[in-house]
């Protein structure tokens, strides 16, 4: 991506103005631009867990995620105007990686999109500037809670500046992942797929609305294309994604271990079948995927989370609503804090020296 078309990072808003957004990214409930008027006394809640990531079956991946994600998750692409790589984390609209205590299961990679929550960039209207936002449901006015967004001088805190660097790194890597999707689309290497799935207990369903790399077409690419992708650091990403197709068994194992009826797998008799995947077409309608209304790279837009596979959207940016006067913050301090006294270290606590990857 050329520097001329690279979005500018506006960073932390210096004054109130547009404070809310029309398109909510995946996981976000009440996102707002970070401003001193609204967030001067705001802090992150203590012991934040991964409950926010439970109701999805897929998570967007930036390019730097792909090597680690490919070891554990099947990676596919959205069918939207701009194909985005996503990790499948469940067959239904449920993330199998979240346990009963709202922890990410030990030993499984946590994608950067999850780790950066509750922060996200907003695209300024009529420009390519990006402004940092936060989901207000993750905040509190309790002075004994987590890190503050602003210091005593009403300046962005060290924590907030670290978050900004964290999100800039993520955005750059997501642009690289989008470029991969664009190249694969232009070369005709993405094919729409759907899978027939039988879950524990005999429940049958269909997973649709996603694309996979056509290996035969990839193998037929000319040397000039492969050399170009090598120079642009795209070629290794293709191999990671192809490698990840062996990971469908990981989802099957998770479904069998955590979704099977009690005692089903302990019995040899076929009372409750283990989950199986059949790569064959079925004559039913596909789950729709909402397409982005802004295909060009400098005008990204988040898709609204909806039905099971529509959660594999492009949620890393959002677009604001019309100009509105600044509102007083309304943080729900009645929301109970996590009772988990030993939160996982995976939750992001960026500092000025934090490395996203």
Q: Are strands 58-60 and 85-88 parallel, antiparallel or unpaired?
A: antiparallel
* Beta carbons within 8 Å of 313's beta carbon, 6+ residues apart: 26, 60, 78, 80, 84, 289, 290, 292, 302, 303, 304, 305
**pLDDT score recorded for residue 347:** 53
**pLDDT score recorded for residue 172:** 94
**pLDDT score recorded for residue 277:** 54
Q: What angle do CA 28, 33, 37 make, to 5 degrees?
A: 130
**pLDDT score recorded for residue 117:** 96
Kindly report whether the global pTM for this prediction surpasses the value 0.85: no
DSSP symbols for 126-146? TS-EEEEEEEGGGEE--TTSS
Query: What are the CA-CA distances from residue 235 to residues 76, 95, 221 (Å)?
Result: 16, 29, 12
Q: Which residue, 303, 294, 292, 297, is CA-closest to 7?
A: 297
Q: Which residue, 167, 95, 177, 157, is CA-closest to 131?
A: 167
**pLDDT score recorded for residue 47:** 84
Beta strands in 272-346 (DSSP E): 276-278, 317-318
Question: Could you list the mean pLDDT of each consecutive 10-residue stretch along the chain, which spans 357 residues?
Answer: 44 46 79 93 93 94 97 94 93 91 96 96 76 94 94 94 93 96 97 84 81 96 97 97 94 82 34 43 29 25 29 39 44 48 46 46
Domain ranges of the chain: 8-262+271-318
């Amino acid at each position: 991506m050329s520097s001329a078309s690279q979005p500018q990072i506006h960073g932390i808003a210096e004054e109130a103005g547009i404070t809310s957004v029309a398109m909510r990214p995946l996981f976000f409930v009440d996102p707002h631009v970070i401003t001193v008027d609204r967030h001067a006394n705001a802090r992150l809640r203590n012991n934040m867990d991964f409950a926010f990531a439970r109701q999805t079956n897929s998570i967007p991946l930036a390019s730097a995620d792909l090597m680690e994600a490919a070891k554990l998750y099947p990676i596919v692409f959205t069918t939207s105007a701009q194909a985005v790589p996503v990790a499948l984390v469940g067959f239904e609209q449920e993330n199998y990686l979240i346990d009963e205590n709202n922890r990410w299961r030990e030993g499984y990679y946590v994608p950067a999109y999850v780790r950066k929550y509750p922060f996200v960039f907003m695209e300024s209207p009529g420009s390519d500037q990006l402004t940092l936002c936060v989901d207000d449901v993750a905040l509190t006015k309790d002075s004994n809670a987590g890190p503050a967004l602003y210091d005593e001088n009403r300046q962005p805190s060290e924590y907030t500046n670290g978050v900004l660097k964290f999100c800039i790194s993520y955005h750059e890597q997501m642009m690289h992942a989008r470029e991969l999707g664009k190249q694969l689309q232009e070369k005709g290497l993405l094919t729409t797929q759907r899978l027939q799935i039988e879950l524990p207990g005999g429940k049958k369903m269909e997973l649709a609305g996603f694309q996979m790399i056509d290996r035969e077409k990839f193998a037929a690419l000319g040397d000039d294309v492969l050399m170009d992708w090598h120079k642009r650091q795209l070629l290794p990403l293709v191999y990671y994604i192809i490698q990840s197709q062996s990971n469908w068994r990981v989802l099957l194992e998770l479904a069998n271990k955590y979704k099977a009826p009690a005692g089903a797998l302990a019995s040899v008799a076929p009372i409750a079948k283990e989950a199986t995947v059949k790569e064959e077409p079925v004559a039913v309608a596909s789950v729709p995927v909402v397409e982005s209304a802004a295909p060009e790279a400098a005008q990204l837009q988040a898709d609204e989370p909806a039905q099971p596979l529509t959660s594999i959207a492009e949620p890393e940016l959002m677009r604001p609503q019309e100009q509105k006067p600044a509102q007083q913050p309304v943080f729900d301090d009645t929301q109970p804090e996590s009772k988990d006294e030993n939160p996982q270290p995976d939750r992001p606590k960026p500092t000025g020296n934090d490395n996203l990857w």
